Amino acid sequence: MIRYRKILPFIFILIVSATNLQADAQGIEFVHNLDSALILAKAQNKPIFIDFYTSWCAPCKVMTAEVFPQAKVGAYFNSQFINCKVQCDDKGIGVKMGEKYQVNAYPTLMFLNAQGELIHSMAGGISAEELIDLGNIARDPERNLLSLLTQWKNGRRDTAFVNLYFGKLKSAYRSELAKSQFEEYFKSLSQKEKTSSNSFELIKLLGYAPSSPIFNFVEDNLAPFNRSVGEASVGDFIKKTYSGNLRAMVLEKGGAARNQYLAAKARLKTRNYSCYDEIAMYLSVFETFDTTGKVDLKEYQTRGTAFLDKYGKDNDYYTLGLTSLLGNCTGRENEGAAGIQWMENLLARKREPRYLPIYFYILWRNYQFDKALAVGEEMKANAIREGRTTKDIEAQMKMISDYKEKRAKQKLAGS
């Protein structure tokens, strides 16, 4: 172990360097080594802010390019925190750090005390104002995640707190901790409390899979849940849970995975749910993928169209999910034309701005560049109207314009 007197000069250098950097900074000044950040945190008596990111994460890139460099963000974070960046796909120490701090989504924006203990955390890209608000919450002992963890440990269990607590764990991507603690909490409830609407909402929030003890409890107590929540809500929960779980299973590669999927699907059929035919037809679309991950695109689109014609007019989620996956699998002119039609049918019914990115994606993946650029202009206008940055969509439109020009040159050369 390194002796204290050996690292003292290094501490001095770090402190001086950090002070000089912060004085001149326009944005957040980061160190890129958590051990160094911990040394600085102890020396300056400050908490640590960490940006856990990867090289492939689009929201991470937006944060780095547009949020962290802002003067107001730098002024706040450089004065209140020691700031550190950790790359979680560097095949080295960053990967280990991500595992140590249970980072499961990117970017994860985490705050530690000088001892390296979690204070607060959340995942996802946010604006400059939201990042400063997040920092204020992290510094507030009455509102940060550490405070909630301490209150839970000390036995606080009133309904409002329980809902807040599990919601915060979920948003911080602490699902493993949330589920283990909820299961212990659930055991302490009476039968009436277990089948209450509040318990049902927490079960939905935490996302229990079929065959888990908590999900089994819901299935075994449908009548009281129907009374407390409503039959339609319970039925929708059952349908979405099975659909999502079995969809993930059928897309796993390997013969053993496919056999497990078929067994799970057969077990579902024995439940005699009224939604079984809908789920089975939905899954049949994904059964066009073989056990190596190769898909029959023509059959995928044929089955997808038939399914959406029957069940998709009142469920936008189906169209969005089927189109997104189709976009991932296509990359030639009009190879996934059915997906374009699916999205145009949906947008004719409901032109939601949040649906446009998927329409934009399926268009350019099928070389419908002019249509894609027109949709990009609409997305850009929406962003301006809502006060959001347009840099990301502008970059994508530039990429499409360049690719359109390249394709035109290739066709001309070929002719």
pLDDT at 171: 85
**231 versus 11: which is more confidently predicted?**
231
**14, pLDDT greater than 80:** no
- Computed over every residue of the chain, the mean pLDDT equals 90
Instruction: Establish whether the linkage from the previous residue to 107 is cis, with ω within 30° of 0.
Output: yes
Is the Cβ–Cβ distance between 330 and 324 less than 8 Å?
A: no
pLDDT band at 164 (very low <50, low <70, confident <90, very high): very high
> In sequence order, what are the residues at sequence separation of 6 or more whose Cβ sits closer than 8 angstroms to the Cβ of residue 202?
162, 163, 166, 182
Query: Residue 386: CB partners within 8 Å, gap ≥ 6?
Result: none
Give the type of residue at 162. V
Q: What is the dihedral of CA 405, 335, 318, 262, to 10 degrees?
A: -140
pLDDT in tens, 280-328: 999 999 999 999 999 999 999 999 999 999 999 989 999 999 999 999 9
3-state helix, strand, coil in the chain (%, to 5): 70, 5, 25
Residue 11 has pLDDT above 70, yes or no: no
Q: What is the pLDDT of residue 415?
A: 56
- In this prediction, residue 172 has a pLDDT band, given cuts at 50, 70 and 90, of confident
DSSP code per residue over 210-232? TTSHHHHHHHHTHHHHHHHH-HH
Q: With left for phi above 0 and alpha for psi between -120 and 50, is residue 211 left, alpha or beta?
A: left
User: Residue 338: enclosing H or E segment and its boundaries?
Assistant: helix 337-349
Q: What is the pLDDT of residues 328-384, one digit of tens each?
A: 999 999 999 999 999 999 999 999 999 999 999 999 999 999 999 999 999 999 999
Residues 399/58, Cβ–Cβ less than 8 Å: no
